[in-house]
Amino acid sequence: MTALKTNKVVTITLNPALDLTGSLDALKVGSVSLVAQSSLHAAGKGVNVAKVLSDLGADVTVTGFLGKDNPELFHQLFTEIGVKNEFVEVEGATRINVKLVEADGQVSDINFPGVQVTAEEIARFEETLFRLADTHDYFVLAGSLPGGITAEQCAAWIEKLHQQGKKVLFDSSKAALRAGIDAHPWLIKPNDEELSDFVGEHLETPEQCQVAAQTLSNKGIENIVVSMGADGVMWLNQGEWLRTQPPRMNVVSTVGAGDTLVAGLCWGHMQVMPKHDLLRFATALSALAVSQVGVGLTSQEELENIKLQTQVSELYPNTNLDKN
């Protein structure tokens, strides 16, 4: 059956954050560092994905948990970008994460714990999520887990959506990734560090990442995408590998680049792009993200230019490659 295009998508951010971003020449660990510019804005991986998808033209609904004490910047953002707000507001304040961006593009993240959600608040979220499943086929579940939600609980939501025939794009790490991988997400996007953590060994080359990713395909995950920063992106689908290599970019900030890649992958699938075009588009979108401060599609013209310079190649399976 021919796939149908859709613009409708739900992004799920269980543990959002207000990002306090500071730009400085160089971080002086153990001493005083002076910030030249700063900003405080609503963020979280799923929120970032929602912003990019909205810029691309998607009809986005956002959900997850928001602290009642400080939701204003999130409400303002959701209005500005035109997404439907289905967040469950819970007791307490949404966390503030600190991102320090140095002049050479290096980013230091200081992430704080999130809100503690109760059983009653979780039940309200579940009601919201599966009500949305009545009218949506694509779900992006991205980011870490707040207190009160276990990795197994998160995996159970993925599995239930899978059983309902929904396409879940899952982007997380550590325990949540480990549990979620067994819950049949439709797409996962570990980076090389997250993949290394999952397999328990340091993966240094794209070939080693390819071998590690192939072991995950045995778990029934239809799309395995590995992001490798400047070395590009690899995608395993139905036993076939594609790899993209973007042009070298002037890196301003890597904040949100992975979330932008997820948004590009989601939009490409929603628009039923041919596979080569889809991966080229998503890779170019992510490459554009590192050349700017902030998340979102800032220049369609520049995106088209990067797409023209992004190479796509087919890879052969490397099942017998020596990983050592």
CA-nearest of 157, 205, 235, 165 to 323 is 205
The pair of three-digit structure tokens given for residue 215, joined into one six-digit string: 């072991």
The pair of three-digit structure tokens given for residue 277, joined into one six-digit string: 């075009």
CA-nearest of 57, 127, 313 to 206 is 313
Q: How far is CA 149 from CA 65, 118, 146, 175, 277, in A?
A: 11, 9, 6, 12, 37
Active site residue 259: yes
Helix (H) or strand (E) holding 130: helix 119-132
Active-site position among 109, 192, 259, 322: 259
Q: How far is CA 80 from the centre of its chain?
A: 21
Q: What are phi and psi for residue 287, nearest 5 degrees?
A: -65, -40
Asked whether 47 and 77 are in contact (CB, 8 A), the reply is yes
Catalytically active residues, by annotation: 259
